[in-house]
Amino acid sequence: MNTKKFLLPEEEPKNAAYRFKNAIMEPIENSDLFNSFIKDHIFKQEFSGTLWAEGPSYIPHKEMLVWSDIPNNRMMKLMNGKVTEFRNPSNFCNGNTIDNDENLISCSHGGRCIYRTKDYVNTTTLVNSYQGKKLNSPNDVVVKTDGTIWFTDPPYGILSDYEGYPGEQEYGGSYVFRYDPISKKLEVALKNLDRPNGIAFSPDEKKIYIADTGEEVKHLYVYDLDENDNLINEKLIYDFKPFFSDGFRSDKDGNIWTSAGKGIKCFNPKGEIIGQLLVPELVSNLEFGGKEGNILYVTATSSLYSMELNQIGAKYIR
């Protein structure tokens, strides 16, 4: 665990929860469609005790959820109803996902790299530099069915000692990258965002959603992918100011469920907002999990929450 002593989230100026502790969520009228997804509007608190919970990833064959507690430099796991540490220290891992073999893929602020953990024991570094220069601090990650690993690379993990180690930006930007673990080729997918953050594909992988959480920009965008995986036809989905869209997932019908302040907003494939769930704390990210894919797991500041839905995540239809 991080040996530095930090204040509680809402008392710590370096924590996002501090800035939003008195913020009030705008009301949203839920559509009939969204209401049909919801069994019970009450979240179950699975765990409390993190400083900034992030990066939930469900591993089906293990029936295990893994997530990050970034400032505490550890990762947690929920398995058989019990929460324990998964990795300590974690080298300040942030976003997590699984590849097509259900290996854990993690974004490390401390290592300024992407890790792959096979069998949940053996961890190797997949990529840590671009054109001979260090990455910033990989933030969130998604794996396409062709095996390529797409990740965002803002500098949050090198700005202070709260979520990593202070450092300099070396390649001169904050890019979205595409990495092929077979050819070991790293390519820039997008370079015009201020602070690219959350990232997810639509179920058919014809679209990709990317958040920008820059100081003056709190946007969620969607892009079409052409036959060569180039990002085209940028479209603004929503301006979240004063909050931000940090992490998100697609359900089987292509609706995007995203963190949005002290709640979760849901957008249909046309980019129209269809509903909102309120959460007791500032939300960072979410994941569909469980045996049937209908458990919504939510990382929110100090806690992990869950809610059973009448809907399943996109990865459960592959």
pLDDT of res. 121: 79
Distance CA 149, CA 6 (A): 33
Distance CA 36, CA 43 (A): 17
Q: For 38-94, what is each residue's pLDDT tens digit?
A: 999 899 999 999 999 999 999 999 999 999 999 999 999 999 999 999 999 999 999
Residue 318 inside a domain? The answer is no
Distance CA 91, CA 94 (A): 9
Residue 7 inside a domain? The answer is no
CB-facing half-sphere around the CA of 175: CA atoms within 13 A: 21
Q: How many domains does the chain have?
A: 1
Distance CA 212, CA 232 (A): 16
Residue 216 inside a domain? The answer is yes
Measured CA distances, 93 to 66, 174, 195 (Å): 11, 18, 18
pLDDT of res. 120: 79
Extract the tokens encoding 163: 């979520």
- Cβ atoms of residues 273 and 267 within 8 Å: yes
Count of CB atoms situated within 10 Å of the CB of 127? 20
298 closest CA partner among 248, 255, 251, 250 = 248
Handedness of CA 268, 276, 151, 190 (dihedral sign): positive
Residue 289 inside a domain? The answer is no
Along the chain (318 residues), what's the average pLDDT of each consecutive run of 10 residues? 81 96 95 97 96 98 97 98 97 98 98 94 95 98 98 98 98 98 98 98 98 96 98 98 97 98 98 98 98 98 98 92
DSSP string, 37-100: HBS-SPPEEEEE--SSEEEEEEEGGGTEEEEEETTTTEEEEEETTEEEEEESS-SSEEEEEE-T
pLDDT of res. 1: 57
pLDDT of res. 5: 80
The residue assigned the tokens 């800035």 is 19
Handedness of CA 46, 51, 52, 58 (dihedral sign): negative
Residue 173 inside a domain? The answer is yes
Cα-based angle 258, 152, 99 (whole degrees, multiple of 5): 80
Cα-based angle 43, 48, 260 (whole degrees, multiple of 5): 50
At position 219, the amino acid (one-letter code) is: H
CATH number at residue 239: 2.120.10.30
At position 42, the amino acid (one-letter code) is: I
Residue 57 inside a domain? The answer is yes
Q: For 134-149, what is each residue's pLDDT tens digit?
A: 999 999 999 999 999 9
The whole-model pTM stands at: 0.97
Extract the tokens encoding 113: 């790299």
Residue 149 inside a domain? The answer is yes
Range of the domain at 236: 49-258
Distance CA 110, CA 192 (A): 25
The residue assigned the tokens 């015009």 is 192
Q: Chain-centre distance of CA 90, in angstroms?
A: 16
- Cβ atoms of residues 112 and 134 within 8 Å: yes
Residue 290 inside a domain? The answer is no
pLDDT of res. 249: 98
